[in-house]
Amino acid sequence: MPLTELELNRFLTSVHPYDSLEADTLSELTPKFQMISAAPGDTIYELGERLDGLYLVHHGEVEVSDEAGLPVSILGPRNSFGERGLTRDGIAATSAKASADTVLLMLPKPDFDALMAAEPAVARFFDRRRTDAPRGNDLATSRVESFMAASPVTCAPDVTVQEAAALMRDKHISSLCITADDALAGIVTTRDLSGKVLAQALPVDTPAAMVMTPAPLTLAPSAIGSDVLHAMMEHRIGHIPIVEAGKLVGIVTQTDLTRFQAVSSAELVSRIAGASSPEEMAQVTAEIPRLLVQLVASGNRHEVVTRLITDISDTVTRRLLALAETQFGQPPVPYLWLACGSQGRQEQTGVSDQDNCLFLSDDATEGDMEYFRNLARYVSDGLHICGYVYCPGDMMATNPRWCQPLRVWRDYFRGWIAKPDPEAQMLASVMFDLRPIGGDRTLFDSVQEETLKAASANSIFVAHMASNALKHTPPLGLLRGFATIRSGEHRNTLDLKHNGVVPVVDLGRIYALQGRLAPVNTRARVEAAEAAGVLSPSGARDLLDAYDLIAETRLDHQARQIKTGARPDNFLAPSALSDFERSHLRDAFVVVKSLQSAMGHGRGMLG
CA–CA separation, 480 and 493 (whole Å): 13
pLDDT value for 99: 85
With a pLDDT cut of 90, the percent of the chain lying above it is 49
Q: Quick one: which of 4, 44, 45, 31 has its CA closest to 108?
A: 31
In this structure, the strands spanning 62-65 and 149-150 are unpaired
> Is CATH 3.30.460.10 correct for 265-454?
yes
Average pLDDT estimate for 403-422: 93
Q: Are 574 and 582 in contact (CB under 8 A)?
A: yes
User: For residue 297, is pLDDT > 70?
Assistant: yes
**pLDDT value at position 75?**
73
DSSP for 391-438, please give it: PTT--STTSGGGEEEHHHHHHHHHHHHHS--HHHHHHHHHHTT-EEEE
The whole-angstrom separation of Cα 58 and Cα 37 is 10
Say if residue 125 is exposed, middle or buried (CB neighbours under 10 Å; 0-12, 13-18, 19+).
Answer: buried
Range in 135-139, 184-188, 542-546, 588-592 the model is least confident about: 135-139
pLDDT of res. 42: 92
pTM over cut 0.85:
no
pLDDT above 50: residue 87:
no
Q: What is the pLDDT of residue 329?
A: 95
CATH topology of domain 5-126: Jelly Rolls (2.60.120)
- Let me know how long the chain is: 607
Cα gap 81→57, rounded to integer Å: 8
SS3 state at 353: strand
Same fold: 139-253 with 265-454: no
Q: Which residue has the higher pLDDT, 253 or 225?
A: 253
Least confident among 90-104, 132-146, 275-289, 459-473? 132-146
Residue 173: count other Cβ atoms within 10 Å of its Cβ.
Answer: 18
Give the burial string for 131-144 (b: 16+ CB within 10 Å, else e): eeebbebbbeebbb
CATH of domain 470-600: 1.20.120
pLDDT digits (tens, 9 = 90+) for 13-35: 877 778 778 888 888 999 999 99
Q: Across the chain, what does the average pLDDT equal? A: 86
Domain range annotation of the chain: 5-126, 139-253, 265-454, 470-600
Phi, then psi, of 256 in degrees rounded to 5: -60, -40
CATH of the structural domain 139-253, one choice from 3.40.50.2300, 1.10.240.10, 3.10.580.10, 3.30.465.10: 3.10.580.10
The mean pLDDT of 591-599, rounded to a whole number, is 90
Average pLDDT estimate for 86-97? 66
